[in-house]
Structure 1
């Protein structure tokens, strides 16, 4: 319905302007527009505007051709220019109506609502504009509700993430405490065992000899070996007693 409303305004103005000014470019643009050739129609309307920059019909229909090509920002600019430059309330009402349509398609809901309200100020009896205004207001209400839901969703997600983080920190702290308790218990058990061994007259056995102990043991072994060799030499020097048999 929004596009149909805009199209009706364009055709009526275009026809009236053609009858009054007999602009061949506007007539050609209207014919192309009816055929759905909006790009060619735009070019023809631009040519009419070059011939008469203040042409309401040429500018109005140019804005409509831009709208049909989904060039909503360009169309909005053109309808804004028309509404601001015209003193005719009917023209201003139609320009603001089409401006509202362009802004609505561009998802600029608050701006489109403002445009529809300006259109109604210039033509309070336009039910089509009133319908479009109500439609835009409902879309804005839905958008605001969706934004609120998204915000609450993000807020709940942040809250849940924080709860998960707090739980993870708590679990880590508990695990660290448990690990520390286990370590303390192992240390205490070792101390208790060492104390028990000392009470039983047992000394912890070193894992390896020191360098000084090793040298002393080696020296002792050398001395013991020397004593053994001396004993053997003394025994050999004395000889062995035996009976000598004389050979007669």
Structure 2
């Protein structure tokens, strides 16, 4: 892309020291001494602040040093100082070149479009406009591709997150089922043990029943003892009768 910054070297209608400063500034600029040219243009502007051409040349010196923001301000100021649309179009062309260098393609397109509005035959402006348009389309396509890739990556990430969540839910469900099964088995074993203990445990009787049984046994024992003594006495009497 052509990025040649236009330079108006004519400094007519200047007088005295400002004329010399302007000429020296133009010479420094043509020799590539842009910083020196900047200072000389600013000195000339101090002597003749209403001379629009000095602002235009200062903008060129600033842009050539890469001082883009300051150069843009100076070119915009220059546009307000002239009523000639063709001169304003020159500033728009240079502004478009600055935006081109900083790859601000949409702003470059608009600036070249403004320049071509009053300089339709400017081949450089046409060339730069078409190339800026192509770069803008490429930039838009690249941004769209990046956005599509980001969306695709986000979709994949969402799917992975969902799969992980589903797997976690399944693991939790399996764990709960296993815990419930283990608990059921423990409960079943506990019931079986309790039943076995109940079956093995002898019948229990109350204290009252126990006392009655004991009394009955004692009474039975007394009766048996009494019966035994009675039989013994009878046997003894029988033996005594036989001796007589």
Bin of the TM-score, shorter chain as denominator length = 0.7 to 0.9
Using structure 1 for the length normalisation, give the TM-score.
0.73
Task: Give the Å deviation of 1:28.
Answer: 0.9
Equivalent position SS for 2:11: helix
Quick one: distance in 2 between partners of 1:54 and 1:137? Answer: 36
How many residues align? The count is 196
Quick one: distance in 2 between partners of 1:202 and 1:126? Answer: 112
In structure 2, what is the equivalent of residue 84 of structure 1? 80
**Measured at CA, do residues 106 and 116 of structure 1 come closer, stay the same or move farther in structure 2, by a change above 3 Å?**
same
Q: How does 1:20-59 map to 2 (within 5 A)?
A: 21=14, 23-59=19-55
Q: Does 1:176 align with 2:169?
A: no
Task: Give the Å deviation of 1:155.
Answer: 1.3
In structure 1, what is the equivalent of residue 139 of structure 2? 143
Aligned match for 2:11, one of 6, 9, 17: 17
C-alpha root-mean-square deviation of aligned residues, in Å? 1.9
Equivalent position SS for 2:188: helix
> Do the aligned residues in 2 keep the contact of 1:73 with 1:102 (CA within 8 Å)?
no
> Do the aligned residues in 1 keep the contact of 2:93 with 2:115 (CA within 8 Å)?
yes
What stretches of structure 1 move > 4 A for 4+ residues in a row?
A: none
Aligned match for 1:95, one of 78, 91, 95: 91
Identify which of structures 1 and 2 has the higher relative contact order when contacts are C-alpha pairs closer than 8 Å and 6+ apart.
2
Unaligned runs of 5+ in 2: 200-244
Unaligned runs of 5+ in 1: 204-248
In structure 1, what is the equivalent of residue 189 of structure 2? 193
Aligned match for 1:166, one of 158, 162, 166: 162
Quick one: distance in 2 between partners of 1:90 and 1:31? Answer: 25
Using structure 2 for the length normalisation, give the TM-score.
0.74
